């Protein structure tokens, strides 16, 4: 069982003991802390909070607990029911609410749930606000209302439609072009609320030929719900077999958008934002923002249109803050998150679909042809494990000094921009490692750059090594469970340092499995020759 309390909200697995999982008692406690914070901030006689949830099985239970806790505090609840994260974000300011709660564990498995917390602008609470809420929860500092002051519940059954209506009011949504293109679109909504939001969004845009895949909002995820290539074999196949122009994939709470080209290939999660930015900047010159670990392709397209690109620290709150600082007209994260401030400051797959299809229709290209117009970059993601007594900050500082003649950014670890590639080193928040992200114009170059940086850290007499997977008990979620071994387990340690991982998933085709086996066999044969 797991419970993670952080400044961004509260998430955990369902079932188990209080304070070790997201139990009913924990849900009530965290809702009470957040509601108390809202009352303190608003200083109003009557407060209101918008609540929505994704389709995971525990959602209704958790929502009832949270709703009744808020009512007990004297707070009125605006209930969206089954909804999306961006929908709740839009509803908060639309209904002049004081805050919002989205009950979703994003792409975590169905046995997880979480309370994601919004301020009165419909934006995620910042670090300082999150710390205040945590302190209230830790100290049980809440006062409940007397009977005549209890809150009430009002339903917002049309919240998703209101969200769609707001998108349709945007100037650059080209419905006429989309209708004329007569697109055939496949959807994988992973049996969550994308199934009740993306199809009506497409219908509003004039798309008449929709191929639904896993659009029933029952919370029974048919595959790993994170929209990555290795999880999307089925829709990639459906797109080609059904002759679709594009495939649309969202995560359970619909704030991440992945696209499939008509040839069944991934458009690339980093390139969802690039394409949308290309469209927006083609309509209005402006600036863009993404986090430090996102593709350089966004910078390239921004500068092509005469704008300025700025990188933020990792995390949506940081991206939003930086977007406001530089007055960016579009931004987001490389994981498929689109933030379009003209609508709201939050990742939104619905507006992402509308903007992307507008671009595709105006370009009169196939999806694969559009992808080919953008410079291809390749990423390598590695990590180095460090012993606990090492000065990690000193290591990062040393790398920044060594490459001070390059373009160095130190707002979140160290990012070094070279002429043709970049490397980003940052401390993990969950493991005793430094994460190393690199990007170059070929996969080999990206991997070689990562290996070079690792070697240079070793040259500082720092004992570090690469690992395919570290011991699970080192993860932050286990810190307070008192089950970690006093010393690292030698066999687990060795496996983490020496093992190789291969994809195992029901969506893999027989051909893909056979290919993996053939490659392993041939590689081992060559190694033993």
Contacts of 157 (CB under 8 A, 6+ apart): 81
The residue to which tokens 């008192």 are assigned: 482
CB atoms within 10 A of CB 422: 26
| pTM for the model | 0.82
Check pLDDT > 70 for residue 388: no
Pairing of strands 246-250, 184-188: parallel
Tens-digit pLDDT profile for residues 238-257: 999 999 999 999 999 999 99
Tens-digit pLDDT profile for residues 265-312: 999 888 999 999 999 999 999 999 999 988 999 999 999 999 999 999
Residue 450's pLDDT band (cuts 50, 70, 90) = confident
Q: Give the mean pLDDT of the chain.
A: 89
Asked if 137 and 5 count as a contact pair (C-beta separation under 8 A), the reply is yes
329/127: higher pLDDT: 329
Residue 385's pLDDT band (cuts 50, 70, 90) = confident
Tens-digit pLDDT profile for residues 45-72: 899 999 999 999 999 999 999 999 999 9
Ramachandran area for residue 9 (φ above 0: left; ψ -120 to 50: alpha; else beta)? left
Q: What is the DSSP letter of 15?
A: S
Check pLDDT > 80 for residue 329: yes
Check pLDDT > 70 for residue 263: yes
Domains in the chain: ranges and CATH: 3-157 (3.40.120.10), 164-372 (3.40.120.10), 378-466 (3.30.310.50)
CA distance 63 to 280: 37
Percent of the chain with pLDDT over 90: 68
**Phi, psi at residue 466, to the nearest 5°?**
-85, 150
Check pLDDT > 70 for residue 507: no
| Mean pLDDT confidence for 182-210 | 98
Give the C-alpha distances (Å, rounded to integers) separating 292 from 250, 296, 441. Answer: 23, 9, 17
| Mean pLDDT confidence for 374-382 | 87
Question: What pLDDT is stored for residue 284 in this prediction?
Answer: 97
Question: What pLDDT is stored for residue 356 in this prediction?
Answer: 98
Lookup: tokens for 116: 């994601």
Check pLDDT > 80 for residue 354: yes
Question: What pLDDT is stored for residue 384 in this prediction?
Answer: 73
Asked if 352 and 411 count as a contact pair (C-beta separation under 8 A), the reply is no
Question: What pLDDT is stored for residue 274 in this prediction?
Answer: 97
Burial class (CB in 10 A: 0-12, 13-18, 19+), 377: buried
Q: How many residues belong to the chain?
A: 529
The residue to which tokens 């290996």 are assigned: 451
Q: What is the DSSP letter of 44?
A: -
Lookup: tokens for 417: 């921009």
CA distance 106 to 416: 31
Helical (H) or strand (E) element with 408: strand 407-409
Check pLDDT > 50 for residue 467: no
């Amino acid at each position: 069982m797991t419970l993670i309390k952080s400044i961004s909200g509260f998430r955990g697995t369902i079932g188990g003991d209080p304070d070790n999982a997201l139990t009913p008692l924990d849900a009530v406690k965290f809702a009470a802390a957040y509601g108390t914070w809202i009352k303190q901030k608003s200083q109003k006689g009557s407060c209101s909070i918008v609540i929505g949830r994704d389709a995971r099985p525990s959602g209704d239970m958790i929502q009832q607990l949270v709703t009744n806790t808020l009512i007990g505090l004297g707070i009125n609840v605006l209930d969206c029911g089954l909804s999306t994260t961006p929908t709740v974000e839009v509803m908060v300011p639309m209904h002049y609410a004081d805050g919002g709660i989205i009950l979703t564990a994003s792409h975590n498995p169905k046995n997880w749930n979480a309370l994601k917390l919004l301020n009165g602008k419909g934006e995620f609470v910042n670090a300082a606000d999150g710390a205040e809420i945590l302190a209230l929860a830790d100290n049980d500092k809440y006062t409940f209302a007397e009977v005549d002051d209890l809150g009430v519940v009002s339903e917002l059954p049309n919240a998703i439609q209101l969200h769609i209506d707001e998108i349709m009011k945007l100037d650059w949504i080209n419905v006429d072009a989309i209708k004329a293109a007569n697109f055939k679109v496949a959807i994988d909504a992973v049996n969550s609320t994308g199934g009740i939001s993306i199809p009506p969004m497409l219908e509003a845009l004039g798309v008449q030929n929709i191929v639904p895949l896993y659009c029933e909002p029952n919370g029974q995820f048919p595959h790993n719900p994170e929209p990555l290539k290795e999880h999307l074999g089925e829709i990639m196949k459906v797109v080609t077999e059904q002759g679709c122009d594009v495939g649309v994939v969202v995560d359970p709470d619909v704030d991440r958008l992945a696209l499939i080209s008509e040839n069944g290939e991934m458009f690339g999660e980093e390139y969802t934002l690039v394409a949308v930015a290309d469209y927006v900047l083609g309509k209005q010159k402006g600036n863009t923002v993404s986090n430090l670990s996102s593709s350089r392709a966004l910078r390239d397209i921004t500068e092509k249109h005469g704008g300025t690109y700025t990188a933020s620290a990792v995390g949506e709150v940081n991206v939003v803050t930086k977007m406001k600082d530089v007055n960016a007209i579009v931004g987001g994260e490389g994981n498929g998150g689109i933030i379009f401030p003209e609508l709201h400051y939050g990742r939104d797959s619905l507006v992402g679909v509308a903007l992307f299809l507008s671009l595709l229709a105006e370009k009169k290209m196939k999806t694969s042809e559009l992808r080919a117009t953008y410079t291809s970059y390749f990423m390598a993601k590695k990590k180095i494990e460090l012993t606990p007594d090492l000065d990690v900050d000193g290591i990062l500082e040393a790398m920044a000094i060594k490459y001070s003649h390059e373009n160095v950014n130190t707002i979140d670890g160290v990012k070094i921009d070279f002429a043709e590639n970049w490397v980003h080193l940052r401390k993990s928040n969950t493991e005793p490692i430094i994460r190393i992200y690199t990007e170059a114009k070929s996969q080999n170059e990206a991997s070689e750059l990562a290996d070079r940086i690792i070697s240079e850290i070793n040259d500082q007499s720092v004992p570090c090594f690469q690992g395919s997977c570290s011991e699970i008990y080192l993860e932050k979620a286990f810190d307070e469970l008192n089950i970690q071994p006093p010393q690292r387990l030698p066999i687990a340690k060795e496996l983490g340092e020496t093992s190789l991982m291969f994809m195992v998933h029901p969506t893999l085709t027989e051909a893909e499995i056979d290919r993996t086996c053939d490659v392993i066999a041939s590689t081992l044969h060559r190694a033993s020759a």
